[in-house]
């Protein structure tokens, strides 16, 4: 066995010993989170007392979906401390009796009991309706017989239909009330089931822990930073474009919608949003060789194009003045890296693990713009206002939806492609209701021309009125 194989074997034995030996479980709070478009890097920090010699710390519980290869640890202390090993262990545990799971379960049981009570009331109403139906049939038969025998009571015949109508009306009113109660209760049950199943699934999931081996020259207190990358998290851009009343520019807001369902809540964390995409990889893809041969045919891809416009309402100058007096939103610190841009949220952020969108404001800028009208009279009688502007921010604008406002009025939703800093781009601000475009066909004539050759000739004439 050579030296390399011996080192690999000793490292494997050391890791196996770490995973099998019992160690105390320590907690480390989540302090920093960097969210990428399709994943997140979580950093935990904890302070621990180290004894002289070797120390093994098991940090957890950690999400089961974390990438084992991404786990990193760093330690600082007053005295000399050496970090020897970091290993990840998976714990297949039984379901933990979460108090919140018990509360949601009891809430669901109570709602189902209420549903059962409504079903019982419905059965009583159905029985009453059947009984009234039998009474109606029997009374009609007896009335017919009495009439034939000249033994009928005229007053009784008059009262019976009215009484039956009143009873059927009461039953229909009660049935309608039960239907409304059942509909509302079914909605509450669906919501309660979704909350219960989500929480119960989170409690029943397996866990992972990180075992960190440290060597301290003397007893000391150490601060440990543990970071890892996991999926089920990401952020997407969202923009708001608001046309200014003075027609000098566009107030452009850059937002980020953060979602995560990692199984752990991020409370009061230092949040950073990054445009980097770790999933793509660091190595540039290489083109494969093309071999030209008489027997091969190289197909060509067809170009694809798409476009969309939005509708709008009229702009209010008074609302624009009031808008200028509103309190400014938070703005993030923008850090331009070599290959990506990072946005640092200036305050502690909360992002629970609920899969719901949580919006953060990145920046708000006033972009200089020139406004022009564009129209396609053949397809639409409207004139669309377009703002030709430039990205004068320090960060790229990633492709995403744009909510369009004119003054305080929301007029529609559009989208933009990725725009680099200093790159020009267009924003369509919708329809100007004060303008109409009319297209009239004046001439559409076809004929033949030429003395020796027959050539087809077509003449078109249109009148465009704005």
Which H or E run includes 335? strand 333-336
Mean of the pLDDT values across residues 145-151? 62
pLDDT of residue 196: 86
- Judged by average pLDDT, the poorest of 101-110, 147-156, 209-218, 272-281 is 147-156
Angle made by CA atoms 59, 65, 68, in degrees to the nearest 5: 60
* 121 CB burial (10 A radius; 0-12, 13-18, 19+): middle
pLDDT of residue 358: 92
pLDDT of residue 293: 61
For residue 203, what are the contacts with CB-CB under 8 A and spacing of at least 6? 95, 96, 97, 98, 101
pLDDT of residue 11: 52
User: Are the C-beta atoms of 401 and 415 separated by less than 8 Å?
Assistant: yes
User: Are the C-beta atoms of 386 and 250 separated by less than 8 Å?
Assistant: no
Instruction: Tell me the per-residue pLDDT of 332-355, one tens digit each, with 9 for 90 and over.
Output: 677 776 667 888 888 899 999 888
Share of the chain above pLDDT 70, in %: 73
pLDDT at 280 > cutoff 80: no
Q: Residue 10 and residue 84: Cα distance in Å, rounded? A: 13
Share of the chain above pLDDT 90, in %: 23
* 369 CB burial (10 A radius; 0-12, 13-18, 19+): buried
For residue 415, what are the contacts with CB-CB under 8 A and spacing of at least 6? 308, 399, 400, 401, 402
- Judged by average pLDDT, the poorest of 115-129, 236-250, 282-296, 349-363 is 282-296
Residue 96: CB atoms within 10 A of its CB come to 12
* 15 CB burial (10 A radius; 0-12, 13-18, 19+): middle
Mean of the pLDDT values across residues 318-327? 42
pLDDT at 369 > cutoff 60: yes
Beta bridge partners of 426: 388
Q: How confident is the model at residue 409 (pLDDT cuts 50, 70, 90)?
A: confident
pLDDT of residue 36: 93
71 closest CA partner among 203, 208, 202, 269: 208
- Judged by average pLDDT, the poorest of 99-113, 199-213, 372-386 is 199-213
Mean of the pLDDT values across residues 11-34? 66
pLDDT of residue 114: 92
β-strand 400-406 against 438-449: which pairing, if any?
unpaired
Say how far residue 232 (Cα) sits from the centre of its chain.
11
For residue 421, what are the contacts with CB-CB under 8 A and spacing of at least 6? 391, 392, 393, 394, 395, 396
pLDDT of residue 268: 93
Q: How confident is the model at residue 305 (pLDDT cuts 50, 70, 90)?
A: very low
Mean of the pLDDT values across residues 161-186? 87
Mean of the pLDDT values across residues 247-260? 86
């Amino acid at each position: 066995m050579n030296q390399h194989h011996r080192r690999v074997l000793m490292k494997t034995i050391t890791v196996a010993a770490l995973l099998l030996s019992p160690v105390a479980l320590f907690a480390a709070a989540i302090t920093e989170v960097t969210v990428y478009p399709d994943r997140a890097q979580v950093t935990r920090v904890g302070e621990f007392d180290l004894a002289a010699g070797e120390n093994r710390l098991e940090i957890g519980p950690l999400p089961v979906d974390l990438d084992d290869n991404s786990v990193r640890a760093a330690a600082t202390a007053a005295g000399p401390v050496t970090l020897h090993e970091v290993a990840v262990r998976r714990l297949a545990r039984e379901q933990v009796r979460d108090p919140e799971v018990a509360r949601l379960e009891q809430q669901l049981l109570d709602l189902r009991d209420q549903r059962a009570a409504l079903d019982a009331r419905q059965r009583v109403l159905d029985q009453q309706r059947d009984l009234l139906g039998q009474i109606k049939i029997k009374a009609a038969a007896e009335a017919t017989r009495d009439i034939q025998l000249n033994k009928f009571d005229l007053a009784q015949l008059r009262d019976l239909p009215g009484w039956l109508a009143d009873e059927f009306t009461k039953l229909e009113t009660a049935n309608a009330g039960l239907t409304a109660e059942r509909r509302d209760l079914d909605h509450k049950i669906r919501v309660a089931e979704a909350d219960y199943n989500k929480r119960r699934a989170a409690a029943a999931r397996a866990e992972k822990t990180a075992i960190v081996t440290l060597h301290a020259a003397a007893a000391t207190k150490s601060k440990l930073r543990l970071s890892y990358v996991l999926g089920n998290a990401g952020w997407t851009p969202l923009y708001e474009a608001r046309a200014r009343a003075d027609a000098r520019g566009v107030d452009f807001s850059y937002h980020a919608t953060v979602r995560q369902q990692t199984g752990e809540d991020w409370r009061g964390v230092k949040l950073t949003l990054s445009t980097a995409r770790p999933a793509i990889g660091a190595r540039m893809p290489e083109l494969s060789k093309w071999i030209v041969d008489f027997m091969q045919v190289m197909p060509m891809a067809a170009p694809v194009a798409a476009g969309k416009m939005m509708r709008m309402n009229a702009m209010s100058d008074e609302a624009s003045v009031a808008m200028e007096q509103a309190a400014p939103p938070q703005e993030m610190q923008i850090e331009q890296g070599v290959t990506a841009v990072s946005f640092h949220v200036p305050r502690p952020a909360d992002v629970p693990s609920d899969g719901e969108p949580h919006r953060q404001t990145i920046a708000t800028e006033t972009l200089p713009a020139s406004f022009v009208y564009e129209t396609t009279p053949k397809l639409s009688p409207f004139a669309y206002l377009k703002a030709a502007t430039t990205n004068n921010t320090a960060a790229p604008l990633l492709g995403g939806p744009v909510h369009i406002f004119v003054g305080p009025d929301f007029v529609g939703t559009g989208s933009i492609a990725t725009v680099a800093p200093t790159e020009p781009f267009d924003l369509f601000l919708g329809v100007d209701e004060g303008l109409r475009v009319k297209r009239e066909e004046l001439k559409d004539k076809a004929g033949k021309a030429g003395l020796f050759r027959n050539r087809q000739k077509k003449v078109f004439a249109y009148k465009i009125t704005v």
